[in-house]
Amino acid sequence: MNFLEDLAFLFSYLLQGLGVTIGVTIIALSFGFLLGIGLALMRVYGGRLAAGIAMLYSTVIRALPVVLVIFILYFGISRVIDLSPFLSGAFALGFASTAYQSEIFRGAIQSVPPGQMTAARAIGMSRWKAIRYVILPQAIRLAIPPWSNEAAIVLKDSSLVYVIGVPEILRRAEYVSARTLEPFLAFGAAALIYFFLTFLTNRGLDYMERRYKLQM
Amino acid sequence: MSDRPIIRIEDLHKSYQIHEIIKGISLEVDEKEVVVIIGPSGTGKSTLLRCINLLTHPDKGHIWLEEEEITAPHVNIDKIRQRIGMVFQDFNLFNHLTALDNVMIGMTKVLKMHPKEAREKALWELERVGLSDRADHYPAQLSGGQKQRVAIARALGMNPHVMLFDEPTSALDPELIGEVLSVMQKLAQEGMTMLVVSHEMGFAREVSDRIVFMENGVIVEQGPPRQLFYNPKFERTREFLWKITELYGKEDEAGG
């Protein structure tokens, strides 16, 4: 077999993990998006108790290495609930991302001018309607730049689920490296794939940022 | 002018920390009446307006909107506010929506109107303030005067029984004040009940039925413009009115 065939085999083998990597990333990001917005709303509009809980969550989770969160969820919780390594990994990353995204959305919500809420209430919107139709649509737009940063981090952190045996790109690169004894080639190929994934994600989000830019 | 009060305020008090901003104000605004509140800054004019639609909760006193006491416990604030249009000094248009959507959103999300019907009505409200050709513009693409006219259209879209204006021209460049005032004048002629906090003496003199002079949290004096300008009970009223007229007088003439 010549070098090119080896290379083609290597990439096709690694790319079989692409679905897993993308799957873990999308689940973690969406999970973190929904819960993160929820926690951010608790922080900004909730009472003392709700804001306290949200802040505690964010402080604790951000103090832990993500790998540790993955271990806790996989070895701790999956004993009680039957979760596949794939889902445990995705949810663990989601729980971690929730903390970071809650900070992003809290900042974004707070940078919507207070007059927007006042004007919404003045035309008879309830607090919830004002949040839903006036505050969040603006906050989410404002959050796109820091959010794309978080998206890139989660995409790269998805490689951490390899520690619980999920066959994503990095795990597969490790298999190849062990078998062929050519770690540079195997991990270099994985690096290239990650680079393109991150690059494309950022380009996509840059486009969204320009498209939905809020002029004030 | 009918004698039916739209707004009735009785002995209103409001403090922030130790500072009492409103110290016992009683005021009535009748149907179709245009009342302009004037007074030095920091005398509680804006606080008074914000109490009327409960954006600020008074500490003491009562407010009635038509027959209903809105300061009573357990009133539905959101329902009350639908009947009170409010226009702010800094416009507060929703930045992520076009002019048309700014006017429509209350109709569809609060009044639950059908989108098609709401769209028609919103276009008509924009027409009323002379901005139907700006329907697709975002707030950032509009001048200050245009923004304020869209804000007026947004308030009108809810079919309010009374309109509150909180210094509607104070944030505008002098040459843009006239277009907003003439929309307000038109509204007054159409019979809208209006309570306006403003320093525009031209508007107060020509359009209002009554001027209320407030200072230090109380109403010093009130009456028809002619009486307050030429025959006030207190020297302080005359002094303030003429000082303000001098300051803003040129703009009044330019703005119409």
pLDDT in tens, B198-238: 989 889 999 999 999 999 999 999 999 999 988 999 999 98
Q: Which residues of A touch B110 (CB under 8 A)?
A: 123-125, 129
Please list the ranges in chain A whose pLDDT falls under 70.
1, 216
- Model-level pTM? 0.89
Minimal Cβ distance to A125: which of B78, B138, B155: B78
One-character DSSP codes across B43-78: SSHHHHHHHHTTSS--SEEEEEETTEETTSTT--HH
The nearest CA of chain A is from the CA of B50 a distance in Å of: 10
CB < 8 Å to A129, chain B: 109-110
* pLDDT for the residue numbered A188: 92
Looking at residue B1, what is its pLDDT? 46
Residue B112 at interface with chain A, using a CB cutoff of 8 Å = no
Q: Which of B82, B84, B92 sits opposite A119 (nearest CB)?
A: B92
Length of chain B, please?
256
pLDDT at B181: 95
Q: With the C-alpha atoms ordered A185, A186, A190, A191, is the resulting torsion angle positive or negative?
A: negative
- Tell which wins on pLDDT, B26 or A9: B26
Note whether A36 and A44 are within 8 A (CB). Answer: no
HSE-CB of B130 using CA atoms within 13 angstroms: 12
pLDDT tens profile B152-172: 999 999 999 999 999 999 999
Q: What residues in B contact A113, CB-CB < 8 Å?
A: 92
The residue behind tokens 């919404």 is A120
- Distance between CA atoms of residues A127 and A120, nearest Å: 8
Q: How many CB atoms lie within 10 A of CB A155?
A: 23
B197, pLDDT greater than 50 = yes
- Chain A residues with CB inside 8 Å of B140's CB? 215-216
Residues of chain B above pLDDT 90, percent: 83
Side-chain half-sphere of A120: how many Cα atoms within 13 Å?
25
The verdict on B141 touching A (C-beta cutoff 8 Å) is: yes
| Closest approach of B207 to chain A, Cα-based (Å) | 25
Alpha-carbon distance B156 to B162, whole Å? 9
pLDDT band at residue B2 under the 50/70/90 scheme: low
Question: Are the beta carbons of A141 and B139 separated by less than 8 Å?
Answer: no
Least CA distance to A114: which residue of chain B? B92
Closest chain B residue to the Cα of A117, Cα to Cα: B92
Instruction: Give pLDDT, residue B248.
Output: 62
B45 part of contact set with chain A, CB < 8 Å: no
Per-residue model confidence (pLDDT) at position A6: 82
Nearest to B92 among A118, A137, A138 (CB): A118
Range 62-81 of B in CB contact (< 8 A) with A: 78-79, 81
The pLDDT, as a whole number, for residue A7 is: 86
**Residue B253 pLDDT class (50, 70, 90 cuts):** very low
CA A173 – CA A194 distance, rounded (Å): 12
Provide the pLDDT for residue B256: 35
- Tell me the average pLDDT across B81-91: 96
Q: Which residue has the higher pLDDT, B144 or B251?
A: B144
pLDDT class of B115 with cuts at 50, 70, 90: very high
Is pLDDT at B250 greater than 50 in this prediction? no
> How far apart (Å, rounded) are the C-alpha atoms in residues B192 and B188?
5
Of the candidates B105, B106, B140, which has its C-beta nearest A216's C-beta?
B140
Model pLDDT, residue A1 = 57
Task: Decide if pLDDT at B255 tops 60.
Answer: no
Give pLDDT, residue A76: 85
pLDDT value, residue B3: 66
- Chain B CB contacts of A124 under 8 Å are 78-79, 81-82, 106, 110, 158
Q: Measured between CA atoms, how close is B92 to chain A, in angstroms?
A: 6
Chain B positions in Cβ-Cβ contact with residue A216 (cut-off 8 Å): 95, 140
Whether the per-residue pLDDT at B143 is higher than 90: the answer is yes
Confidence of residue B12 (pLDDT cuts 50, 70, 90): very high
Cα A32 to Cα A103: distance, rounded to the nearest angstrom: 11
Enumerate residues 6+ apart whose C-beta is below 8 A from A59.
none
- Confidence class of residue B42 from pLDDT cuts 50, 70 and 90? confident
- Which of A117, A121, A123, A126 to mutate to test binding with chain B, by most B CBs within 10 Å of its CB? A123
What is the per-residue pLDDT across B127-139, written as a single tens digit (0 to 9) for each? 999 999 999 999 9
